[in-house]
């Protein structure tokens, strides 16, 4: 996820749902469902949804819900292509990786986040959603003469989401490949690491929010800038 946020913390977005985006998402999902049905003879949308007209309504409800969720939770300024085009190209396939085509009536806001993570969309980190983060930034102090002789100075700092496995209390990285709502794990938090010349991370501290982890990194290395995107 893109970690920059230009909106005031915990404030709702001013974005309003775009009919073009809803249409693009619905069209993409419809096409993805039809494609999957061509390869799966057990899929009968008329039967699953009690008629094709109801299936159309369900597809539209999914598209509408995702667009409304996106308006609340995404930072659209950080998209690198027009939003409706992105949805038209990619939404349907990503949606069916999260929800089976015969179970679209069960689509929820949690599924919206799962799709956003799969699409690497810029989810706002200031809203407390379980978003995976793994970003690194060079230590600007390494370039100063006063630090040339300091062989122990970190080359870079890394902020990564981790979470605790509830059964054995082991900690594991929380990545885009993981389910953000996996009941076997606790909520994610943010680990700050220093990386030396050997490339090995050294744990510095944990923080509950990205803002707190970023603030600590900036205290340790004034002027540090995290600009990378989480894949």
Strand locations in 59-199 (E): 134-138, 156-164, 171-173, 189-195
Strand locations in 110-182 (E): 134-138, 156-164, 171-173
Give the residue with greater pLDDT, 226 vs 58.
58
Nearest in space to 176 (alpha carbons), one of 107, 137, 119: 119
Read off the pLDDT of residues 171-204 as tens digits, 9 standing for 90 and up: 999 999 999 999 999 999 999 999 988 889 999 9
**Residue 193 has which token pair?**
């690491």
Give the position of tokens 């894949």: 231
Q: What is the pLDDT of residue 4?
A: 37
Cα-Cα-Cα-Cα dihedral sign, residues 159, 119, 82, 123: negative
Asked if the model's pLDDT at residue 146 lies above 60, the reply is: no
Q: What is the pLDDT of residue 145?
A: 46
What is the pLDDT confidence band of residue 143, given thresholds at 50, 70 and 90? Answer: low
Q: Are 11 and 128 in contact (CB under 8 A)?
A: no
Read off the pLDDT of residues 42-93 as tens digits, 9 standing for 90 and up: 999 999 999 999 999 999 999 999 999 999 999 999 999 999 999 999 999 9
């Amino acid at each position: 996820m893109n970690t920059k946020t230009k909106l005031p913390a915990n404030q709702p977005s001013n974005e309003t749902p775009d009919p073009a985006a809803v249409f693009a998402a619905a069209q993409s999902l419809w096409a993805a469902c039809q494609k999957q049905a061509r390869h799966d003879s057990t899929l009968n949308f008329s039967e699953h949804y009690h008629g094709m007209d109801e299936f159309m309504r369900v597809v539209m409800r999914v598209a509408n819900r995702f667009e409304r969720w996106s308006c609340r939770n995404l930072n659209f300024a950080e998209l690198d292509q027009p939003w409706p085009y992105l949805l038209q190209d990619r939404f349907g396939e990503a949606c069916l990786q999260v929800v089976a085509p015969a179970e679209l009536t069960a689509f929820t806001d949690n599924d919206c986040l799962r799709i956003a993570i799969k699409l690497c969309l810029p989810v706002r980190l200031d809203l407390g959603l379980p978003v995976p983060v793994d970003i690194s930034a060079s230590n600007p102090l390494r370039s100063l003469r006063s630090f040339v002789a300091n062989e122990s100075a970190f080359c870079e700092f890394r902020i990564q989401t981790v979470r605790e496995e509830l059964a054995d209390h082991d900690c594991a990285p929380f990545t885009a490949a993981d389910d953000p709502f996996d009941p076997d794990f606790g909520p994610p938090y943010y680990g700050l690491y220093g990386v030396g010349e050997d490339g090995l991370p050294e744990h510095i501290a944990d923080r509950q929010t990205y803002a707190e982890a970023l603030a600590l990194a900036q205290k340790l290395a004034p002027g540090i800038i995290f600009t990378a995107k989480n894949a």
